Structure 1
C-alpha cells in the first residue's frame, strides 16, 4: 500500500462512510437512546433542507479538519502538545513508509 492508497482508504472509511452514517442517523426515526443524538435529531428535523445540508457540510468540514490534523502529526508538520516527536507509519505488506505527505494528499482530495 502506498500513501495515496492509504489516504484514499482512510478518507473513504472515516469521512465518506462516516458522513453517510450521520445522514442516515439524523434523517431516520429509529430509536435513539443517547440524549445528544436525540437532541441533535430534533434540531436537524427542525431545519429546512437547505439548513440541513449546511449542517452536514459543517460536520464534514470538522471531520476533514480533524483527520488533516492527525495526518499532520504523523507527517511531522504538526505536534502533540508541542512535543516534537517524529513518527514513521510503515505498510506491513511492503515495508513502504506512508507518512510524509498524508495531510497534503487529503487536502488535495478535498479541493
Structure 2
C-alpha cells in the first residue's frame, strides 16, 4: 500500500473510529432523561445494561462505524455503487508541505476501501 494512502487510512481510523468511540463513551456516561427522544432513551437503555452488555453495545457501535467508513470509501473510490445516482465521486489525496502548499496529488481510484479494510484486518481492529 502506498505510504501516503496508508497514513490517510490510519488517520481516518483514529479520527472517525477511535475518537468517535471516545465521544460516544462520554455521551453514554452523561445523565439523561429517557423521555426526551429516542437517542436519550438509547443512552438510558445502555446505562441500565450490565457491564458485559455495555461492552457488546460498544463493539456493535464501533463495528457499525467501521462498516460505514468502508462503505463511504467504496462509494468514493468507485468500488461500490451509489443507489439512485448517475454521479460518481472521485477523491484525490493532496500531500502538502509545512506551508500548506500542494506537493503531490494522488488518485485513490479503487484503493481507498480496500486499503481501509486491509488496515483493519492487518491490525485486527474488528470490533466484533
Which TM-score bucket, shorter chain as reference? Answer: 0.7 to 0.9
Name which structure has the greater RCO, CA cutoff 8 Å, separation 6+: 1
Unaligned runs of 5+ in 1: none
TM-score (norm 1): 0.83
Q: Which residue of 2 aligns with 1:81?
A: 83
SS of the equivalent of 1:106 reads: helix
TM-score (norm 2): 0.73
Greater Rg by CA = 2
CA contact (8 A) 1:72 1:102 kept: yes
> Which segment is superposed worse, 86-95 or 68-77?
86-95
Higher helix share: 1
Give me the whole-angstrom Cα distance separating, in 1, the residues matched to 2:4 and 2:33: 41
Matches within 5 A, 1:50-89: 50-81=52-83, 83=86, 85=88, 87-89=90-92
Aligned partner (choices 112, 116, 125) of residue 102 of structure 1: 112
Unaligned runs of 5+ in 2: 97-103, 122-128
Higher strand share: 2
Q: How many residue pairs get matched? A: 111
